[in-house]
Chains A and B, each alone.
Chain A
Amino acid sequence: MRYFLTSLRAVFMKDIVTELRARQVLPTMVVLGMLIVWVLRIACETAAGSTAIIGPVAFWIAFLFAGLLAQERSFATEEQNDCMDGLLLAPIDAGTIYLAKLLVNIVMLCIFEIIIVPVVIIAFGLRIGGHWPSLIGVLLLGNIAISSVGTLFSAIVQLCRTRGSLLSILVLVVLAPVMVPATFALLLKFGAIPAELAGTGALAFVGTFKTAVGYMVVFDAVFVTASWLLFGFAIKE
């Protein structure tokens, strides 16, 4: 257990220090996020009253694509100078490498969210009121979902030559099931969907806010556990 924590911390700190020095991921993520928010805000000008719908959606579009940027980099540093071999030569468990990389991606996305969330709220005039705890909870669950899937597929794709486009395709397809309840939960919180419509029509399967959050919790638990267990196979030659 002590070695697990030491090695987890070592890989986590190494990646954080590397990113802070290289400054390759965060600035790009922020610029991309700002661009997405700006374009969607301009689009809202064409239809009155659409900010309450597009605003919550802007969160997920920005997080998804910015997350992909971060995840694509998470194994690029290991590829340089064959550093991945250096990691695999050590007696560290492959699952520990995954968890450390996952934590780094979650932290990067959290920093990005701290910057982008106020921008989205101001740009779209969203009213949070007393919903801050539930908003933060939903965003964190979405963050874990995006990071867990992205980290695993980033490692798998690292062994392929067509990595960038393949990562986007794989991650977006796998994340589709969790993006529906994630978007629904925010639309409900920001009043874009009247509470009485929740659980009806196309939204029947996500049900209420609580069931949507429940879907996200289950998705996160399943994907983090499965990815942790499968990671060793993903990085084997």
Chain B
Amino acid sequence: MINLKSISKAFEHRSVLKNVNLAVAAGESVFVCGINGVGKSTLLRIAAGLLAPDAGAVEICGRDMAKDPEKAKPRLGLISHKSMVYTDLTVLENLMFFGRLYGLADPRRRAEQMLDDLGLGAYRFDRAAILSRGMMQRLAIARALIHKPAVLLADEPFTGLDSKASAHLAAVLEGFGDTDHAVLMTTHDAAVGVRCCRRVIVLHQGGIVFDAPTEGIDAIAFSTDYVAYSGGAS
């Protein structure tokens, strides 16, 4: 579903990604980890089509992101630590706006359904500005999933969330990674990443140095090793 082919990216002569190849199949959820500045967010932004790679190609469900963005973009959704919602619009208006951008036939109906599913129904006519961080992240999830994407990219989605909101988001991510969908996620919390995903890759010095299923990996031990490896700051 996600196919990153020979991706390279440099910022002002500093090479961040060097010939990275990554394929994520339907039903897979992949946790990307690595130390700060290793290129995790860059990789996700390239996969989302927000950043053009210096070399290589991105395919989402077989559609080339550079050559056929109109077909590739509707197949993916992105959650990040920023909500990408308009604080002066109401919760419902935000979702209807994005629904229209994705060409939904009945954006209001779909938006109402998403709000009910995510427990935001009571806030539908409130401005997004009044939402708490946890509620805002639920709205961000609704925004990312309004068009029923096949691929979900999540870039540090747990940042700033309390334990309840984190658990809710983890449940959403786990529920999304079924046989028809794929997830590519980064988080600074290695234990959460291992628990939420079925495969883990480690980025180091521009390339993938570790790639294994999370089954059988002890999340706590992995997290401890990871913190030690990254010098205490991921």
Q: Is the interface of B mostly helix, strand, loop or mixed?
A: mixed
A21 touches B101 (CB 8 A): no
Chain B interface: which of A64-72, A81-89, A122-130, A161-169? A81-89
Interface residues of B in 95-145 (CB under 8 A from A): 97-98, 100-103, 127, 143
With A90-B73, A91-B74 in contact, do A22 and B88 touch (Cβ < 8 Å)?
yes
Cα distance, A234 to B101, chains bound together (Å): 20
Cα distance, A87 to B73, chains bound together (Å): 11
With A77-B86, A83-B84, A91-B73 in contact, do A17 and B143 touch (Cβ < 8 Å)?
no
B78 touches A89 (CB 8 A): yes
Residues of B near A21 (CB, < 8 A) are 88-89, 127
A91 touches B93 (CB 8 A): no
B87 touches A81 (CB 8 A): yes
- Please give the distance in Å from A151's CB to the nearest CB on chain B: 19
B88 touches A90 (CB 8 A): no
Residues of B near A86 (CB, < 8 A) are 84-85, 98, 143
Residue-wise interface mask of B (50-91) relative to A, using a CB-CB cutoff of 8 A (1 in contact, 0 not) = 111000000000000000011101101110101111111100
Q: Is B49 an interface residue (CB 8 A)?
A: yes
Cα distance, A3 to B71, chains bound together (Å): 13
- Please give the distance in Å from B84's CB to the nearest CB on chain A: 3
- Please give the distance in Å from A141's CB to the nearest CB on chain B: 31
Cα distance, A179 to B11, chains bound together (Å): 40
B88 touches A85 (CB 8 A): no
The count of residues in chain B whose C-beta lies closer than 8 Å to any C-beta of chain A is 32
Residues of A near B71 (CB, < 8 A) are 91
A85 touches B143 (CB 8 A): no
Chain B interface: which of A6-14, A104-112, A205-213, A220-228? A6-14
Interface residues of A in 1-60 (CB under 8 A from B): 3, 6-7, 9-11, 14, 17-18, 21-22
Q: Is B48 an interface residue (CB 8 A)?
A: yes
- Please give the distance in Å from B63's CB to the nearest CB on chain A: 11
Cα distance, A145 to B83, chains bound together (Å): 34
B103 touches A14 (CB 8 A): no
B85 touches A83 (CB 8 A): yes
Residues of B near A196 (CB, < 8 A) are none
Residues of B near A17 (CB, < 8 A) are 88-89, 93
Find B102's partner among A11, A22, A83, A91 (CB 8 Å cutoff): A91
Cα distance, A23 to B71, chains bound together (Å): 37
Find B88's partner among A9, A18, A82, A236 (CB 8 Å cutoff): A18
Residues of B near A88 (CB, < 8 A) are 49-50
Find A7's partner among B48, B74, B101 (CB 8 Å cutoff): B101
- Please give the distance in Å from A145's CB to the nearest CB on chain B: 29
* Residue of A whose beta carbon sits closest to that of B107: A10
- Please give the distance in Å from B145's CB to the nearest CB on chain A: 12
Interface residues of B in 157-188 (CB under 8 A from A): none
Q: Can you list the 10 inter-chain pairs with the closest CB atoms, starting with the nearest? A: A86-B84, A90-B101, A82-B82, A10-B100, A91-B73, A18-B88, A91-B70, A21-B88, A81-B83, A22-B88
A interface residues with partner B (beta carbon < 8 Å): 3, 6-7, 9-11, 14, 17-18, 21-22, 77, 80-83, 85-92, 236-237
In the assembled complex, 7 residue pairs joining A and B whose CB atoms fall closer than 8 Å, in A order, are A3-B103, A14-B97, A77-B88, A82-B83, A85-B50, A91-B73, A237-B45
